[in-house]
Amino acid sequence: MRKLLKYLSAYKLESVLGPLFKMLEASFELFVPLVMAQIIDTGIKNGDTSHILRMGAVLVLLGVVGLTCSLTAQYFSAKAAVGFSTALRNDLFRHINSLSYSEIDTVGTATLITRMTSDINQVQSGVNLVLRLFLRSPFIVFGAMVMAFTVNVRAAMVFVVAIPLLSIVVFGILIISMPLYKKVQRQLDRVLLTTRENLLGARVVRAFNRQQDEIKKFDEENSLLVRFQVFVGKVSALMNPVTYVIVNGATIVLVWTGAWQVESGVITQGEVVALVNYMSQILVELVKLANLIITISKSLACANRISAVFEVQGSIAEKNHGTIVTEAERASEGQRIPRVRFKQLVFAYAGSKEPSLSGIDFAAGKGQTIGIIGGTGSGKSTLVNLIPRFYDATEGAVLIDGTDVREYPLRQLRDKIGVVPQRALLFKGTLRDNMRWGKKDASDEEIYEALDIAQARDFVDSREQGLDMMIEQGGRNLSGGQRQRLTIARALVRRPEILILDDSASALDFATDAALRKAIRAATGDMTVFLVSQRASTIRNADQILVLDDGKLAGLGTHDTLLDTCEVYREICLSQLSEKEARRNG
C-alpha cells in the first residue's frame, strides 16, 4: 500500500483537511454529554426553563457546526479518494500497456481486469474511509475516556479496563482476517477467469453441448468463493457482538457504581448520564472502527495485488527513444541490405522448457512476398510476432534494414509494420475511425484505396452509411470474412514497409482470397509481405516459402522447388491439392 500512497501527493491539502474537519466534528460531539449533564443537574433539577432552552440552543449549535464540519470532511475525503483512484487507474492501465505479450500471458487477462476494476474500487473505498474515520474513531474513543476523567476519576476507571479489551478484540480480528481476505480475492480471480472463458467460448460450449459441464465448473469455483467469504464473514462478524458485550457490560458496571456514588453524593445524576453517553459514543465509534478495519483489510489486500502488477516489469525495453538511422540508410549506393533478416534465431516462451523456434536463418528483400506454412503449433505466428517485437528473441536476432529490432524505438519500429492478426478484431465506432487506426490522418481516398485492395469496397458501398457505418464492439455486426477484409484494409491504410498477414484470410472463399492476393501483389510495390497461411494455394506464388516443422526451418524456397525437395511441404500440398493441381502454375 505504501507504494501507492504517492498517488495522494496531488491531494495533500485534501488529505489533511478531510481528517481535520472530522476531528473538529468529533470535538464538538465530545461536548454534548457535558451539556446534557448541565441540563439535568441545573435546568431540570432546579426547574430552570430558561437554562434548559439556553443549553438546548447550545446543543443545536453544536449539531449544526458538527454537520457542517462533517459535510466539509466528506467533500475533501471523496475528492482525494476519487483523484487517487483515477491517477492509480491511469498509471496501471499505462503500465499494463507497456508489458509485452510474455508478461500479459503470464499474469493473465482475467487477473488484470480484476486489478483494474474491483481492486481499485476497493482501494478507493478504503482511502475514503481512512481519511474520514481512521483518526476520528480513535479520537472519540480516547477523547471520551479523557472527558470521563474530567467528570469523575473513580467512575472513569471502567473506561481504562474496557478500552484495552476492545482494542485486543478489534486488532486481533484484523490480524486474523487480513490473510483470509487475500484468499477471497484470489478465488474471485478464478471465478472471473471461469466466467470470461465461458462467455468468450459460448459458441464452442453450445456446439459441443457442454453447458451443464460449464455450469458445474462455475458452481464449484463459485461455491468455493462463497465458502471463503462466509468463513471470513464469520470471523469479521464476531467483532460487533463481542464489542457490544464488552461495552454494555462496562455500561452496566458504570450505572451500578454510579448509582452508589449518586446515593453517596459523590457525583450527580447528570454526570452519570454523561458517563453513560461517553460509553455509548465509544460503542458507536468502535462499531464504525470495526467496519473500517474490515474495509481496510480488503483494501490492503487489493492494494498489494495492484502493487504486484506494478512490480511486473516489461521484458521489451527501449534502448533509444529518438529516431535512429538504420544500416540500410547508412549503406553506400548499390549495397543491398535485406529488409528483414532472421539471424540464427532461437525463441522460447516464458516458463517453457523447450524453444518454440530454433535455428531460424533467412532474409527477405524489398518487394518480396514471403509465404510461411507449417502444421498447427509449428511456430508460424510466433515467427512473425518477433518482427514488430511483440516478443524478444531468446538467442540470435531479428534485423530490419540491417538494424537489430531491439535498437529501434518501438514507435519507429512499429510505424514500419502493418500487422493483421489471426483474430480479426475491430473496435466500436465508425468504419472511418477503425481505418484510421492504421493512419490517424488518413483521407477518405486513402481509406477507399485500402478497401479496394482488401476486397472490402463492395460490401462497404452496399451500406448506405459508407465510411460512417457503425461497427459494434468486436465487429459483431459483421461476418467473419468482412471483419478479416476490414482488418487487412486497416493495415494497408498506413502503407507500411512490412505487411504481416497472419492467417488473416481463413474466413474468405478461394475466389476472394485469390483476388486479395493478386491485388496486394499489384499494389504493394516495395512492401515486404509476410503471408502466414494453412492453405498451400495462398502462399504458392510467394517469392520465398518458409516451411516450419516443430519450430525448425524444414524448407526454404519457391513452391516448385519445395515440392520436389521438402517432404513436409509436399505432404501439406498433397493433403489439399491433387498432384496435378500442385504442379500447375499459378
- Nearest CA to 504 out of 513, 495, 515 is that of 513
**Cα separation, 525 vs 513, whole angstroms:** 19
Mean pLDDT of the chain, nearest integer: 86
Computed on alpha carbons and rounded to an integer, the radius of gyration of the chain in Å comes to: 36
* Buried b / exposed e along 518-550 (16+ C-beta atoms within 10 A): ebbbeebeebbbbbbbebbbbbbbbebbbbbbe
**Cα separation, 7 vs 218, whole angstroms:** 37
The structural domain count of the chain equals: 2
- Residues 275-296 have pLDDT tens digits of 888 888 887 787 777 778 778 8
What angle is formed at CA 71 by the lines to CA 66 and CA 77, rounded to 5 degrees? 120
Q: Is residue 327 part of a domain?
A: no
Q: Out of 29-38, 356-365, 425-434, which region has the weakest mean confidence (pLDDT)? A: 29-38
Is the same domain home to 129 and 250?
yes
**Cα separation, 323 vs 321, whole angstroms:** 7
Domain boundary among 495, 513, 540: 495
Contact 128, 291 (CB under 8 A): no
**Cα separation, 516 vs 511, whole angstroms:** 9
Is the same domain home to 140 and 267?
yes
**554, containing H or E segment:** strand 552-557
Does residue 547 have a pLDDT over 90? yes
Is the same domain home to 428 and 290?
no
C-alpha grid cell for residue 165?
A: 479489551
For residue 489, the domain's CATH number is 3.40.50.300
Is the same domain home to 21 and 155?
yes
Contact 388, 413 (CB under 8 A): yes
Q: Is residue 300 part of a domain?
A: yes
CA atoms within 13 A on the CB side of 551: 13
Residue of 335 and 395 predicted with greater confidence: 395
Give the domain extent around 277: 11-311
Q: Could you say which DSSP state residue 546 is in?
A: E
Q: Is residue 5 part of a domain?
A: no
- Nearest CA to 163 out of 178, 183, 143, 182 is that of 143
Write down the pLDDT at residue 75.
Answer: 94
Write down the pLDDT at residue 333.
Answer: 64
Give the mean model confidence (pLDDT) for residues 447-459: 91
- Nearest CA to 269 out of 50, 54, 39, 57 is that of 39
Cell numbers 482501494 label which residue? Answer: 123
Give the mean model confidence (pLDDT) for residues 87-107: 87
Q: Out of 199-208, 289-298, 380-389, which region has the weakest mean confidence (pLDDT)? A: 289-298
Backbone angles phi, psi at 363, to 5 degrees: -130, 150
Domain boundary among 462, 479, 495: 495
Q: Could you say which DSSP state residue 391 is in?
A: S
Is the same domain home to 54 and 203?
yes
Is the same domain home to 174 and 26?
yes
C-alpha grid cell for residue 353?
A: 522448457
- Residues 439-450 have pLDDT tens digits of 889 999 999 999
Query: Which residues does 56 contact at the CB level (< 8 Å), separation at least 6?
Result: 39
Residue of 121 and 3 predicted with greater confidence: 121
Write down the pLDDT at residue 21.
Answer: 93
Does residue 583 have a pLDDT over 80? no
What confidence tier does 305 reach under pLDDT thresholds 50, 70, 90? confident
Q: Is residue 256 part of a domain?
A: yes
Q: Is residue 66 part of a domain?
A: yes
Q: Is residue 328 part of a domain?
A: no
Domain boundary among 311, 342, 365: 311
For residue 93, the domain's CATH number is 1.20.1560.10
Write down the pLDDT at residue 334.
Answer: 64
- Nearest CA to 539 out of 375, 370, 408, 306 is that of 370
Q: Is residue 529 part of a domain?
A: no
Cell numbers 531491439 label which residue? Answer: 406
- Residues 491-534 have pLDDT tens digits of 999 899 999 999 887 778 888 888 888 888 888 788 999 999 88
Q: Is residue 556 part of a domain?
A: no
- Please, is 195 exposed, middle or buried when counting C-beta atoms within 10 Å of its C-beta (0-12, 13-18, 19+)? middle
Q: Out of 427-431, 451-455, 503-507, 540-544, which region has the weakest mean confidence (pLDDT)? A: 503-507
Alpha carbon distances (Å) from 289 to 130, 158, 239: 10, 20, 10
